[in-house]
Each structure stands twice: as structure tokens, then as C-alpha cells.
Structure 1
Amino acid sequence: MQLNDPNFNKSAFIKKLESIIYLMFVLPLAFFGYAFLEREASGELRSVFYEDPDIMFHAVMAAGIGYVLLRTLATWKKDALKVLKQVPELDLKMIKLKKSIIYRNLMWSFGAAIGAFGLYEKGDMVYALVFSLFLILITANRPSPKYFSKFFGLKGEEKKWMEE
């Protein structure tokens, strides 16, 4: 196992990265809560998507959601691993991946904000599902020792170091 800095504190690094990610999600979460409570109080939550739809609004929202998902799910991991292939040190790989993880989660927070805005504007509960999708993506892919171990495909000594 190769490390650039033998004193690299992976736990502090992961906690700081996780904090940044959850801080980015605070605004969309607060906006979603406000939108949901506002629509619920006025009785304007709609559980059906197809009654009196605003096709243009929904098409723009779907395009935004599709862009975020394609940009972050289709090629993100492959591109990140291709860039990191030349770096043998595990701690440097984690440090170099930081900006990419922040970018991906910023995009997911933006996707969650799209869901919250759709709920606020139209009151359609389908946007609550969109918000929930991004919430699941953010929490399921949060940085953790196990996440990095699986992401890099670590085995043996490297896996043990990462997950201890």
C-alpha cells in the first residue's frame, strides 16, 4: 500500500467532506420543507400528475433532472477512475477525488432543488418523488471508508487500512 503522507487522517478527511456535502443539501431541503408545508396548508398538493398538466413546465423540469442524472450517473465514476489511474498513492487519490465528489453532490443538490421548485410551483407530488430520488442518491453515496473502499476496488491491506 502506498501513501504520500503517512500521517494522513482519513477519518478527518471523510468527515469534512461529508459535512460539505450535507451543507450543500441544506438549502434544497429547507426549500422542499417550505414548499411542502405551503402547498399542504393551502390544500394544493396534487397526487395526480396528468390532470391539467403544464407540459412546457414539466418538460423543462424533466430536461433539468435528466441532465443532472446523466451527468452524474452515466460517466462520472468511469471518468474519475480514469483520471486517478495514474496516481498510485491512496491518500492522494482521495484528495484528488474530493472536488469531483463535491461537484457530483452539488449537482444532486441542484436536482433536489428542481424537485422542490416543481413542488412549490405546481404542487404535484411527482416532484416530491424527484426530491426523494436525489435525497437517496446523496445519502447512499455519502463518503465513508466503505464507500471509498468499494469505489477504488480495494483489497487486502489497502481495504483493511481504509475500513479500520
Structure 2
Amino acid sequence: MNRGPRAAAPPVRLALGIAALAAGAFAMGASVLFVRLAEVGPFASAFWRTALALPVLLVWALAAEGRRALVPDRAALLAGVFFAGDLFFWHLAILGTSVANAAVLATTSPVWVALFAWLVLRAAITRATLAGLALCLAGAGALIGRSFHLEPAHLLGDAAGLVTAIFFAAYFLAIGKAR
């Protein structure tokens, strides 16, 4: 029986994976609205989002890795710094521009991942990657439609949305290295 990376997942495991993916996508999508509705500032909101998740993630890491989980390597620490930057600028973008602009600018992160992988890691960019990037951007455009607009009053928020994508891309690449 083939148990390699391309082996088919058992139906229950596949269903759980799809459910987890859907729940994560819903939670990430709803987070924008919760940040807007929060009665605390953007940085307190970002802090509490991560602080409340920490105990659950710590138990999970200890169960999976044992004591080794308590000693992160350099790439994991760097990923944490990039994630903090992502949250910092994401919350600024949510409050500094329209939800549509914040979302569409943040979804450019795959473009930055590919660009950094190519420039920094010297990874080859395949046609499949380019096609995936085109689909990603087309999907973001389709979701946002005509809601995306640039206004001088929101330029700092728009810039924060773009910086969010850059930090998330760096986080994604650092996590890949940490694994």
C-alpha cells in the first residue's frame, strides 16, 4: 500500500481536513469584522487574539513534540517575528481602510511568497505557480468586485494592507524553513 505524500487520505481524515480548512477560512474572514467591532485598540486586539490561543497551542505543541517544542529554532523565532509584523499591520489596515481594500491587499501574499522564494531562496517559479498566482489574484478580484477603491484618506491603511501581505509571505517562508 502506498503511504507516500501523494497517497489518498482516508475519507474520514479527508473530511476532517476539509472541515478544518472551512472553519479556518471562516474564522479568518470573520476576524476582520471582530477587529472592527472590538472595544479595544488594534494592538490590544492583536495581543489578545494570540494570548488567548497560546495555552491551546502550547498543549498541542507539547503533545506533538514533547519538551522539544519549548526550544524553538532560529527559523521558528523569525517566523514569530514575521507573524507579529503581520498582525500589527493587518490590524492597522483593517482600521485604516475599507474592509475590501484590507482584504484584497492582504491576499497578495502569495505573490510576495513567490517573489521572495525566487529572489532570496533562488527557487524556480514554474508555470503552475504563475497560473496559481493568476487564479489567486483573479479570485481576490472576483470576491471584492468594485468594492476596492483608493482614496487619499485611506492610503496609510492601504499601505498597511500591502505590508501585511509582505510580512505574511515572510512568515510563510520562515515556517517552511522551520519545518
Tell me, yes or no, whether TM beats 0.5: no
Larger RCO of the pair (alpha carbons < 8 Å, separation 6+): 1
Q: So what's the TM-score if we normalise by structure 2?
A: 0.27
Q: So what's the TM-score if we normalise by structure 1?
A: 0.29
